[in-house]
Protein backbone atom coordinates (compact mmCIF):
# COMPACT_ATOMS: atom_id res chain seq x y z
CA UNK A 1 0.00 0.00 0.00
CA UNK A 2 2.74 2.43 0.99
CA UNK A 3 6.15 3.17 -0.52
CA UNK A 4 9.02 1.25 1.06
CA UNK A 5 10.37 4.08 3.30
CA UNK A 6 6.93 4.52 4.81
CA UNK A 7 6.63 0.73 5.24
CA UNK A 8 9.98 0.56 7.04
CA UNK A 9 8.91 3.37 9.37
CA UNK A 10 5.65 1.52 10.12
CA UNK A 11 7.50 -1.76 10.77
CA UNK A 12 9.86 0.04 13.14
CA UNK A 13 6.92 1.51 15.10
CA UNK A 14 5.19 -1.86 15.37
CA UNK A 15 8.42 -3.52 16.58
CA UNK A 16 8.57 -0.90 19.34
CA UNK A 17 5.05 -1.83 20.48
CA UNK A 18 5.80 -5.57 20.29
CA UNK A 19 8.71 -5.03 22.68
CA UNK A 20 6.71 -2.66 24.87
CA UNK A 21 3.86 -5.14 25.40
CA UNK A 22 5.84 -8.39 25.52
CA UNK A 23 5.33 -10.07 28.90
CA UNK A 24 3.26 -7.16 30.31
CA UNK A 25 0.05 -7.75 32.19
CA UNK A 26 -2.75 -5.60 30.84
CA UNK A 27 -4.02 -2.67 32.87
CA UNK A 28 -7.27 -3.77 34.58
CA UNK A 29 -8.66 -0.20 34.73
CA UNK A 30 -10.35 1.62 31.83
CA UNK A 31 -9.14 5.03 30.72
CA UNK A 32 -11.08 8.17 31.62
CA UNK A 33 -11.84 8.56 27.89
CA UNK A 34 -13.63 5.18 27.95
CA UNK A 35 -15.82 6.26 30.86
CA UNK A 36 -16.53 9.59 29.14
CA UNK A 37 -17.58 7.87 25.91
CA UNK A 38 -19.77 5.31 27.66
CA UNK A 39 -21.64 8.11 29.46
CA UNK A 40 -22.13 9.97 26.19
CA UNK A 41 -23.41 6.99 24.19
CA UNK A 42 -25.60 4.92 26.54
CA UNK A 43 -27.58 3.39 23.64
CA UNK A 44 -24.62 2.27 21.54
CA UNK A 45 -23.66 -1.39 21.53
CA UNK A 46 -20.38 -1.91 19.65
CA UNK A 47 -16.90 -0.54 20.14
CA UNK A 48 -14.24 -1.03 17.46
CA UNK A 49 -11.06 -0.15 19.32
CA UNK A 50 -8.39 0.60 16.71
CA UNK A 51 -4.84 0.41 18.10
CA UNK A 52 -6.32 -1.23 21.20
CA UNK A 53 -2.95 -1.77 22.90
CA UNK A 54 -3.38 -3.94 26.00
CA UNK A 55 -7.14 -3.97 25.35
CA UNK A 56 -8.00 -2.23 28.62
CA UNK A 57 -10.83 -0.20 27.07
CA UNK A 58 -12.07 -2.97 24.72
CA UNK A 59 -12.33 -5.34 27.69
CA UNK A 60 -13.98 -2.75 29.90
CA UNK A 61 -16.68 -1.99 27.30
CA UNK A 62 -17.23 -5.76 26.95
CA UNK A 63 -17.63 -5.97 30.74
CA UNK A 64 -20.34 -3.29 30.41
CA UNK A 65 -22.32 -5.44 27.96
CA UNK A 66 -21.02 -3.98 24.69
CA UNK A 67 -19.50 -5.95 21.82
CA UNK A 68 -15.83 -5.07 21.92
CA UNK A 69 -13.60 -5.60 18.92
CA UNK A 70 -9.96 -4.73 19.45
CA UNK A 71 -7.68 -4.20 16.45
CA UNK A 72 -3.94 -3.82 16.69
CA UNK A 73 -0.82 -4.50 14.66
CA UNK A 74 1.14 -5.89 17.61
CA UNK A 75 0.97 -9.67 17.92
CA UNK A 76 2.61 -9.46 21.35
CA UNK A 77 -0.35 -7.69 22.87
CA UNK A 78 -3.11 -9.55 21.01
CA UNK A 79 -2.24 -12.91 22.58
CA UNK A 80 -2.74 -11.56 26.11
CA UNK A 81 -5.82 -9.54 25.06
CA UNK A 82 -7.46 -12.65 23.61
CA UNK A 83 -6.75 -14.60 26.81
CA UNK A 84 -8.34 -11.89 28.95
CA UNK A 85 -11.28 -11.54 26.55
CA UNK A 86 -12.26 -15.24 26.71
CA UNK A 87 -14.55 -14.57 29.66
CA UNK A 88 -16.84 -12.49 27.40
CA UNK A 89 -17.15 -15.16 24.69
CA UNK A 90 -18.22 -14.05 21.21
CA UNK A 91 -18.89 -10.52 22.46
CA UNK A 92 -15.21 -9.70 22.68
CA UNK A 93 -12.71 -10.33 19.91
CA UNK A 94 -9.21 -9.23 19.05
CA UNK A 95 -7.95 -9.16 15.49
CA UNK A 96 -4.53 -8.38 14.04
CA UNK A 97 -5.06 -5.44 11.72
CA UNK A 98 -2.53 -2.99 10.41
CA UNK A 99 -3.45 0.52 9.36
CA UNK A 100 -2.28 1.10 5.83
CA UNK A 101 -2.45 -2.59 4.99
CA UNK A 102 -5.80 -3.85 6.29
CA UNK A 103 -9.13 -2.05 6.22
CA UNK A 104 -11.30 -1.91 9.33
CA UNK A 105 -14.20 -3.21 7.24
CA UNK A 106 -12.18 -6.35 6.46
CA UNK A 107 -11.65 -6.99 10.18
CA UNK A 108 -15.40 -6.67 10.77
CA UNK A 109 -16.42 -8.86 7.84
CA UNK A 110 -18.71 -11.76 8.68
CA UNK A 111 -20.05 -10.16 11.86
CA UNK A 112 -23.49 -8.62 12.04
CA UNK A 113 -22.90 -5.08 13.24
CA UNK A 114 -25.35 -2.19 13.34
CA UNK A 115 -23.13 0.71 12.31
CA UNK A 116 -25.58 3.26 13.74
CA UNK A 117 -24.77 1.82 17.17
CA UNK A 118 -21.06 1.45 16.53
CA UNK A 119 -18.19 3.65 17.68
CA UNK A 120 -14.83 3.48 15.95
CA UNK A 121 -12.62 4.33 18.90
CA UNK A 122 -9.00 5.42 18.60
CA UNK A 123 -7.41 6.33 21.90
CA UNK A 124 -3.79 7.41 21.80
CA UNK A 125 -3.48 5.97 18.30
CA UNK A 126 -3.12 8.99 16.03
CA UNK A 127 0.06 10.32 17.62
CA UNK A 128 1.52 6.79 17.45
CA UNK A 129 1.17 6.47 13.66
CA UNK A 130 2.68 8.33 10.72
CA UNK A 131 0.94 11.13 8.85
CA UNK A 132 0.38 8.82 5.86
CA UNK A 133 -1.18 6.21 8.13
CA UNK A 134 -3.45 8.85 9.65
CA UNK A 135 -4.68 9.79 6.16
CA UNK A 136 -5.34 6.13 5.38
CA UNK A 137 -7.06 5.58 8.73
CA UNK A 138 -9.36 8.62 8.39
CA UNK A 139 -10.30 7.70 4.85
CA UNK A 140 -11.01 4.13 5.92
CA UNK A 141 -13.11 5.26 8.92
CA UNK A 142 -15.00 7.81 6.84
CA UNK A 143 -16.65 5.02 4.86
CA UNK A 144 -18.00 3.55 8.12
CA UNK A 145 -19.02 6.98 9.41
CA UNK A 146 -20.90 7.62 6.15
CA UNK A 147 -22.92 4.49 6.96
CA UNK A 148 -23.83 5.62 10.49
CA UNK A 149 -20.85 4.91 12.76
CA UNK A 150 -19.14 7.56 14.86
CA UNK A 151 -15.42 8.19 15.27
CA UNK A 152 -14.11 8.89 18.79
CA UNK A 153 -10.50 10.05 19.10
CA UNK A 154 -8.20 11.02 21.93
CA UNK A 155 -4.60 11.93 21.10
CA UNK A 156 -1.63 13.92 22.34
CA UNK A 157 -1.46 17.41 20.83
CA UNK A 158 1.40 19.68 19.85
CA UNK A 159 1.01 21.40 23.26
CA UNK A 160 2.13 18.10 24.81
CA UNK A 161 5.42 17.90 22.91
CA UNK A 162 7.51 19.73 25.53
CA UNK A 163 5.80 18.32 28.64
CA UNK A 164 7.62 15.67 30.75
CA UNK A 165 7.11 12.02 29.75
CA UNK A 166 7.16 8.81 31.79
CA UNK A 167 8.04 6.31 29.04
CA UNK A 168 11.40 6.20 27.24
CA UNK A 169 11.49 8.26 24.00
CA UNK A 170 9.77 6.60 21.03
CA UNK A 171 7.89 7.66 17.88
CA UNK A 172 5.29 10.29 18.67
CA UNK A 173 3.74 12.66 16.14
CA UNK A 174 1.98 15.31 18.18
CA UNK A 175 -1.37 16.25 16.70
CA UNK A 176 -2.45 19.70 15.57
CA UNK A 177 -6.11 19.65 16.60
CA UNK A 178 -7.30 22.12 13.95
CA UNK A 179 -5.57 20.18 11.17
CA UNK A 180 -7.23 16.99 12.35
CA UNK A 181 -10.58 18.74 12.43
CA UNK A 182 -10.09 19.97 8.85
CA UNK A 183 -9.07 16.52 7.65
CA UNK A 184 -12.20 15.01 9.16
CA UNK A 185 -14.42 17.69 7.62
CA UNK A 186 -12.83 17.21 4.21
CA UNK A 187 -13.89 13.55 4.41
CA UNK A 188 -17.50 14.49 5.24
CA UNK A 189 -17.08 13.71 8.90
CA UNK A 190 -18.79 16.39 10.95
CA UNK A 191 -17.08 17.24 14.24
CA UNK A 192 -19.84 17.12 16.86
CA UNK A 193 -17.54 17.43 19.87
CA UNK A 194 -14.00 18.71 20.39
CA UNK A 195 -12.11 19.47 23.58
CA UNK A 196 -8.42 20.24 24.03
CA UNK A 197 -6.39 20.55 27.19
CA UNK A 198 -4.81 18.90 30.19
CA UNK A 199 -6.51 17.04 33.03
CA UNK A 200 -8.27 14.60 30.69
CA UNK A 201 -5.86 11.66 30.37
CA UNK A 202 -3.64 11.31 33.46
CA UNK A 203 -0.97 8.59 33.05
CA UNK A 204 1.24 7.73 36.05
CA UNK A 205 2.87 11.11 36.87
CA UNK A 206 1.96 12.63 33.50
CA UNK A 207 -0.84 15.07 32.72
CA UNK A 208 -0.66 15.16 28.91
CA UNK A 209 -2.23 17.81 26.70
CA UNK A 210 -4.72 16.01 24.48
CA UNK A 211 -7.53 16.51 22.02
CA UNK A 212 -10.82 14.65 22.27
CA UNK A 213 -12.86 14.61 19.09
CA UNK A 214 -16.10 12.90 18.09
CA UNK A 215 -17.28 12.83 14.47
CA UNK A 216 -20.45 11.68 12.79
CA UNK A 217 -21.46 11.53 9.17
CA UNK A 218 -22.88 14.77 7.83
CA UNK A 219 -26.60 14.05 7.70
CA UNK A 220 -26.54 11.59 10.61
CA UNK A 221 -27.89 12.60 14.01
C1 LIG B 1 -0.05 4.49 22.45
S2 LIG B 1 -0.63 2.87 22.14
C3 LIG B 1 -2.34 3.09 22.60
C4 LIG B 1 -2.96 1.84 23.12
C5 LIG B 1 -4.39 1.99 23.69
N6 LIG B 1 -5.33 2.46 22.69
C7 LIG B 1 -4.41 2.87 24.90
O8 LIG B 1 -5.06 3.92 24.87
O9 LIG B 1 -3.78 2.50 25.91
C10 LIG B 1 -0.68 2.81 20.34
C11 LIG B 1 -1.14 1.48 19.80
O12 LIG B 1 -1.24 1.60 18.37
C13 LIG B 1 -0.77 0.40 17.78
N14 LIG B 1 -0.29 0.67 16.41
C15 LIG B 1 0.78 1.40 16.01
N16 LIG B 1 0.90 1.42 14.67
C17 LIG B 1 -0.16 0.69 14.20
C18 LIG B 1 -0.61 0.34 12.89
N19 LIG B 1 0.02 0.73 11.79
N20 LIG B 1 -1.73 -0.41 12.77
C21 LIG B 1 -2.41 -0.81 13.88
N22 LIG B 1 -2.02 -0.53 15.14
C23 LIG B 1 -0.91 0.22 15.30
C24 LIG B 1 0.34 -0.07 18.70
O25 LIG B 1 0.62 -1.44 18.57
C26 LIG B 1 -0.20 0.31 20.08
O27 LIG B 1 -0.91 -0.75 20.65
- Beta-carbon contacts of 60 under 8 Å, excluding residues fewer than 6 positions away, are 29, 30, 34
Summarize pLDDT for 27-50 with one digit per residue, the tens: 999 999 999 999 999 999 999 999
Distance set, CA 156 to CA 107, 129, 174, 177, 207 (Å): 26, 12, 6, 9, 10
What is the model's pLDDT at position 25?
85
Q: Return the ligand 1 atom nearest residue 154 CA.
A: 8
- How many Cβ atoms sit within 10 Å of the Cβ of residue 48? 28
Beta bridge partners of 72: 96
User: What's the first-to-final CA gap in the chain, in angstroms?
Assistant: 34
Q: Return the ligand 1 atom nearest residue 99 CA.
A: 20
Mutate to test the pocket of ligand 1, among 2, 21, 58, 73 (most ligand atoms within 8 A of CB): 73
Separation of alpha carbons 158 and 122, rounded Å? 18
Separation of alpha carbons 114 and 12, rounded Å? 35
Separation of alpha carbons 143 and 89, rounded Å? 28
What is the model's pLDDT at position 11?
86
Ligand 1 in reach of 212 Cβ (< 6 A): no
Ligand 1 in reach of 201 Cβ (< 6 A): no
Q: What angle do CA 68, 71, 76 make, to 5 degrees?
A: 115
Ligand 1 in reach of 123 Cβ (< 6 A): yes
Residue whose CA is closest, atom 19 of ligand 1?
99
Beta bridge partners of 189: 217
Low-confidence ranges of the chain (pLDDT < 70): 1-2
Q: Which residues of 57-72 are buried (b: 16+ CB within 10 A; e: fewer)?
A: bbbbbbeeebbbbbbb
Ligand 1 in reach of 98 Cβ (< 6 A): yes
Are 217 and 146 in contact by the 8 Å Cβ rule? The answer is yes
Task: Catalogue all structural domains in the chain, each as residue range(s) with its CATH number.
Answer: 4-217 (3.40.50.150)
pTM of the model: 0.96
Give me the helices (H) in the chain, please: 4-21, 32-40, 56-63, 75-85, 104-108, 131-145, 177-186
Contacts of 104-111 spanning 24+ positions with Cβ under 8 A = 104/48, 104/50, 104/71, 104/140, 104/141, 104/144, 105/140, 105/143, 105/144, 107/48, 107/69, 107/71, 108/48, 108/69, 111/69
What is the model's pLDDT at position 1?
62
Amino acid sequence: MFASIESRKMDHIIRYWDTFYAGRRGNPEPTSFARFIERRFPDHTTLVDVGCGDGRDTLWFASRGWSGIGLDASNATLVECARRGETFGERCRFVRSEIGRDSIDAALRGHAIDLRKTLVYARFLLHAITDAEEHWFLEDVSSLVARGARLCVEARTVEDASLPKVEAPHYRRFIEARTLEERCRSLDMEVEFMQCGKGLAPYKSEDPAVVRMICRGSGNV
